[in-house]
Amino acid sequence: MFLKINKLKSKKNRSKIVCLTAYSKNIAEEIDKYTDLILVGDSLGSVLYNYKTTRKVTLNMMIEHSKSVRLGISKSLMIVDMPYNTYRTKSEAHKNCKKVMKETKCDGVKLEGGKKIKNIIEHLVKNKIPVLGHLGILPQSVRGKFKSKGKSLREKNQIMRDAIILENAGVFAIVLECVESGLSKAITKQIKIPTIGIGSSNNCDGQILVTDDILGLTNSKIKFVKKFVDVKKLITEGAKKFNVEVKSKKYPSKKYSY
């Protein structure tokens, strides 16, 4: 676990770090060859369950999806998002993160926030639980529309300060979500651990996106989302062909029957 984390950290200034989300074994298995890190993100709340916010995602949901993802990963680092209200105090965070680590056999957890959760992160790291930080837009705290972060001087200073606090608290890398490109460049230069951008420009040490978005399974209109392939089309095509063959009795032919 720590070997894999050190390998990821050593990529800073050497090669870009490739990260994607997965919520199930079948997807994890296919992306693992091309990723350094796979995140079981609490974005599964909106992507799979149509929740308006990630706040409804429970610890049990994260654990069950993560167990499935674990079955599909052989080389990437596996990180699990800690859902809302599961890390409010040191003891709550420790108890829940330990449970996640034990039941899912993941390599670490991700927590959203800066200065406010400094003590909690320090406590987890001291107890050998690797933590991935998350700054910029914090989906568990956002109400209403997502806006980019770091445009005003006050916000810039605060996010930079938080990045330094997280590094000192012991996180192994930081996700920067929708952080203005000049600021993500400055943070990436300032800290010694990798920055993983999502909507935060190619100035970061790596990139993460939601796999369902890059596959075209969602109808996301978010500026930073790029649809790399159209899996929806393939699914429709497969279902349509099955429908036609069942109705015409072409399927199942003798070859597919006992």
Kindly list the residues in this chain that would bind ligand KIV in the complex (CB under 6 A): 21, 39, 41-43, 81, 175, 198, 208, 210
Least distance between ligand KIV and beta carbon 108 (Å): 14
Strand, coil or helix: 139: coil
Q: How far apart are CA 51 and CA 48, in angstroms?
A: 8
Q: Which is nearer to ligand KIV, 49 or 242 (CB)?
A: 49
- For the bound state, the minimum distance from the C-beta of residue 58 to ligand KIV, rounded and expressed in Å, comes to 14
Identity of the residue, 56 or 251, whose beta carbon is nearer to ligand KIV in the bound complex: 56
Residue among 80 and 165 whose Cβ is closer to ligand KIV: 80
Long-range contacts of the stretch 42-48 (C-beta < 8 A, 24+): 42/81, 42/82, 42/83, 42/84, 42/139, 42/140, 43/81, 43/139, 43/210, 47/23, 47/210, 47/212, 47/218, 48/23
Q: How far is the CB of 147 from ligand KIV (least distance, A)?
A: 17
62/91 with CB nearer ligand KIV:
62
Q: Can you point out the beta strands (E) in the chain?
A: 17-21, 37-40, 77-81, 108-110, 131-136, 173-177, 195-198, 206-209
Smallest distance, Å, CB 61 to ligand KIV? 12
The residues that are catalytic are: 177
Q: What's the rounded Cα separation, in Å, for the pair 73 and 59?
A: 21
